[in-house]
Every structure is written in structure tokens, then in C-alpha cells.
């Protein structure tokens, strides 16, 4: 199993993307990116940031990048793919109350009045 991590920077080579037809290069670069991240982290749930997507598509459909350096951030079961300069803060979850707890709180506020 892969070693647990919070942040990791990797470089992905898109050499195999250029074996595809020119009309499918940028889309296959995204698939290659996800495949490399899956191989690195052994997790299936991957979210690609908007900046990474724009970087891949900046030259259009036909002229894809040769390489890209990205930062992987582990957020619970989700792996987020970011540019190395991007910052991502993990949000803390709020406590979820059950319906019974909410009803008890309402009763307490009514009785106090």
C-alpha cells in the first residue's frame, strides 16, 4: 500500500500523449494525469484544480504540454491535484446534529422564555 502523505510534488511526462491523434491530445493528457496520480497514490477519487486544467489546455487541443509539475494534496479520501504555487487548506467539518438534538434545543429555548 502507498505511504500516507499530506502533500507531494511530482512531475508527469506526457510522452505517450503524442502517440495519439492530434485531435485528442489535450483530453488524453488529462487521462494520463489521472492515471499517473492513481499510480502514485493508489486512490481513485481525484479532483483536478482549475489552474491545472487551464495549464493543460492553454495551447489548445492539438499542442499539449510535454511535462507538468503538480502538487498532490490528500484531503480525507480525495486527492487534489494543484499547481505547486496553489494553496489548499483543509476545511474542518462542523458537527452534524441529529433531528432529536435539534428538537431538544428548541424545547429548551421555549421553556427558557
pLDDT of residue 3: 65
**Domain spans of the chain, in order of start:** 7-112
Per the structure block, which three cell numbers stand in for 39? Answer: 499510480
Question: ∠ CA(98), CA(99), CA(105), 5° rounding?
Answer: 95
pLDDT of residue 106: 85
pLDDT level of residue 88 (50, 70, 90 thresholds): confident
The pTM score is 0.74
* Residue 61 DSSP label: T
Please state, for a pLDDT cut of 90, what percent of the chain lies above it.
Answer: 58
Lowest pLDDT segment from 2-6, 8-12, 68-72, 109-113: 2-6
Lowest pLDDT segment from 35-39, 76-80, 91-95: 91-95
Superfamily of domain 7-112: Ribosomal protein L31 (3.10.440.10)
Q: What is the mean pLDDT of residues 87-109?
A: 79
Amino acid at each position: 500500500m502507498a505511504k500516507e502523505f499530506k502533500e507531494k510534488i511530482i512531475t508527469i511526462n506526457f510522452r505517450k500523449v503524442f502517440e495519439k491523434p492530434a485531435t485528442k491530445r489535450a483530453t488524453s493528457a488529462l487521462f494520463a494525469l489521472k492515471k499517473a496520480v492513481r499510480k502514485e497514490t493508489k486512490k481513485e477519487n481525484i479532483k483536478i484544480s482549475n489552474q491545472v486544467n487551464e495549464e493543460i489546455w492553454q495551447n489548445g487541443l492539438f499542442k499539449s504540454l510535454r511535462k507538468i509539475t503538480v502538487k498532490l494534496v490528500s484531503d480525507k479520501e480525495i486527492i487534489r491535484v494543484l499547481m505547486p504555487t496553489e494553496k489548499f487548506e483543509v476545511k474542518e467539518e462542523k458537527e452534524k446534529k441529529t433531528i432529536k438534538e435539534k428538537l431538544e434545543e428548541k424545547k429548551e429555548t421555549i421553556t427558557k422564555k
